[in-house]
Structures are given as structure tokens and as C-alpha cells.
Structure 1
Amino acid sequence: MKQHIEQLFKKYIVNNKNTDENLFYVNDLSKTSLIEADLESANFNRFNLREANLSKAFLYKADFGYANLKKATFKEAQMWFVDLGQANLEEANLEEANLKNAYLWKANLSLANLQKAYLKNANLVQANLWRADLRYADLRGTNLQGTILKAVRIDRAKYNHQTIFPKDFDPINSGMMLQKNEVTI
């Protein structure tokens, strides 16, 4: 049954992006496997995707605002311009995910794995990164203003002069690497 729902969901999202008609209504996709799915501009706003697997999925401009993504896997997912505002990503795996220009305002990323994540120019204002793992992440141009960075693992992460940190955070003492000379293409 679950596999049948996944197939219908993929067909609906991929083939009916520009319609308001609902072939079916599903907002609980917990433990669903959508590995390598092409879900460009998909609307998962307020969905329950707890423990879902979206590894290597194409999620360009997808909306996950307010979604429950606890323990979800987005390993190596392409998530440029994705909306994760106020989403619960507690213990989520975003290792090597491309989150360039992602919107993560007030997102809960506590205990999340963001190792080697590409977060260039992302908005993480007021996000909760308590005990998150950001080792080797790319935070160049990222806005971390008001973000909770207590007990975060952030050594070897990249930043530049455009990166905005909370007032009480020292990137040098945290083991981050300043990228001074960048070539803009």
C-alpha cells in the first residue's frame, strides 16, 4: 500500500505542478522513501515527513515551511531556494545537501547533521542549531543573526566577510576557515 501511495504522489507532484486540482490529499508522508525524486516546486507546507528519505532528491524551490522533518534524510539533495521556514529538522540528515539561498528562518536544526552542506547565502536567522554538526559546511554569505549556536560542531566550516554571525559568536575560536579571496562568476 505504501509503495502505491509513493508512486501516486510522485506522479501527482511531477506531472501536475501547475494545477490546483487535488488528485488525492496526503499530508502524512512519514517514513516515505522519495530517493532521487524530482520534486521541483513541490508544496510540502505543514506536511509530516518524519523519518522520510529524500536523499539525492531534486527539491529546487520546494516549500517545507512548518513541516515536521524530524529525523528525515536529505543526504546530497539539491535544495536551492527551498523554504524550510519554521520547519522541524531535529536530528535530520542534510549531509552534503545543496541548500544555496535556502530559507531556514526559525527552523529547528538541533542535533541535525549538516556536515559538508552547501549553505552559501542561506537565511538561518533565529534558527536553532543546538548541537548540530556543521563541520566542513560552506557558510559563505549566510545570515546566522540570532541563531542558537550553543554546542554546535562547526570546525573547518567556511565563511567569508559577508557571513553574518550572532553577536556573541567568534568564528576563529570555533575553528572556522575564513575564505578571503573569492572569484565571483
Structure 2
Amino acid sequence: MQILDVSQLVELYARGERNFPGISLVNANLIEAQLAEISLPGACLSGSNLSAANLYRINWVEADLTKAILWRSVLQNAYGVKVNLSQAILIKANLNGADLHGANLTKADLRLADLRNTDLSGANLSGADLRYANLSNANLVGADLSNCNLTGTNLNQKV
């Protein structure tokens, strides 16, 4: 199935379709989209605007969201192994419980993001802005946090 544009994706989603592997919607406008439990493995959404979108339980394994805008988006329990969010804007995004192990978050803007209980093991967060983000109980084993801004970040871990 080939998706030609955002309106077609939204229409198919409304009809109950949830699986869109490998779609390419570069620079798409999906502001406030309601796409909970959608599956976008290997998709290319680089430069897309997903501000305030509901992407609860999204499957975006190995998807490319370079420079995407996900400001205030709901991404709880997202499955994003090896997702590319390099230079993405995730200010105030809710990623509580997401699986982002091996993800690329180089230079991502995660200010005030909710990353509680998130698996960031092996993720590349070098140069990311994590000011006042909540990383409580996040798995950071093997994550690259070099050159991150961690001012006011909550890094509390379970003992």
C-alpha cells in the first residue's frame, strides 16, 4: 500500500488501518494528529511537525524523524528501537515508559520532557538538551550523554 500524502494516511487510519511500514512523509504536517497505536517501522518523517500529536504506543522501530517537531506530543509506551530523532524537538513530550534503546537523539531538544521509566540503553544523546527533563528510573546503561545540558534534570534511580 502506497501512502501519497498525510490526508490519505489519516483517512486510512480512521478506517482502522494501523500498519504503515516504510512510508515516506517528509516535512508532513501532523499537528495534533490522533494516531495512537499506529505502526510506522522504517518510516521517514524527517522534518515533520507532530506537535501535540497523540502517538501513544507508536511503533516506530528504525524510523527516521531527523529534525522532526514533537513538541508536547504524547509518546507514552512508544516502541522506538533505533529510531532516529537526531536534532528533533521534543520539548515537553511525554515519553514515559518508551523503549528507545539504541535510538539516535544527537542534539535533540528534550527540555522538560517526561522520560520516566524510559529505556535509553545504548542511545546516543550526545549534545542533547535535557534541561529540566524527568529521567527518573530511566535505563541509561551504555547511553552516550556527552556534552548534554543536564541542568535541573531529575536523574533519580530505583535502588
The residue that corresponds to 1:177 in the other structure is 154
The 3 A distance-change label for structure 1 pair 154 and 77 is same
CA offsets 1:74-120 (integer angstroms, 9 cap, x no match): 10001110001100000000010000000110001100000100000
5+ residue gaps, structure 1, are 18-40, 181-185
The residue that corresponds to 1:164 in the other structure is 139
In structure 2, give the amino acid aligned to 1:177.
Answer: N
5+ residue gaps, structure 2, are none
Quote how far apart the aligned CAs of 1:144 are. Answer: 0.3
The 3 A distance-change label for structure 1 pair 125 and 112 is same
Identity level (%): 33
Quote how far apart the aligned CAs of 1:177 are. Answer: 2.0
Is it true that 1:131 corresponds to 2:135 in the alignment? no
Q: Which protein shows a greater Rg?
A: 1
Quote how far apart the aligned CAs of 1:155 are. Answer: 1.1
Is it true that 1:117 corresponds to 2:112 in the alignment? no
In structure 2, give the amino acid aligned to 1:163.
Answer: A
Instruction: Give the alignment's Cα RMSD to 1 decimal.
Output: 2.4
Quote how far apart the aligned CAs of 1:6 are. Answer: 5.8
In structure 1, give the amino acid aligned to 2:13.
Answer: I
Quote how far apart the aligned CAs of 1:45 are. Answer: 1.2
The residue that corresponds to 2:76 in the other structure is 100
> C-alpha distance in 2, partners of 1:7/1:122?
27
> C-alpha distance in 2, partners of 1:8/1:79?
17
User: Which of the numbers 34, 38, 45 marks the counterpart of 2:21?
Assistant: 45
For CA contacts below 8 A with separation 6 or more, give which structure has more relative contact order. Answer: 2
User: Which TM-score applies when normalising by structure 2?
Assistant: 0.85
> C-alpha distance in 1, partners of 2:77/2:25?
22
> C-alpha distance in 2, partners of 1:46/1:65?
6
In structure 2, give the amino acid aligned to 1:149.
Answer: L
The 3 A distance-change label for structure 1 pair 92 and 164 is same
The residue that corresponds to 2:120 in the other structure is 144
The residue that corresponds to 1:68 in the other structure is 44
User: Which TM-score applies when normalising by structure 1?
Assistant: 0.74
The residue that corresponds to 2:31 in the other structure is 55
> C-alpha distance in 1, partners of 2:8/2:135?
42
The 3 A distance-change label for structure 1 pair 7 and 150 is closer
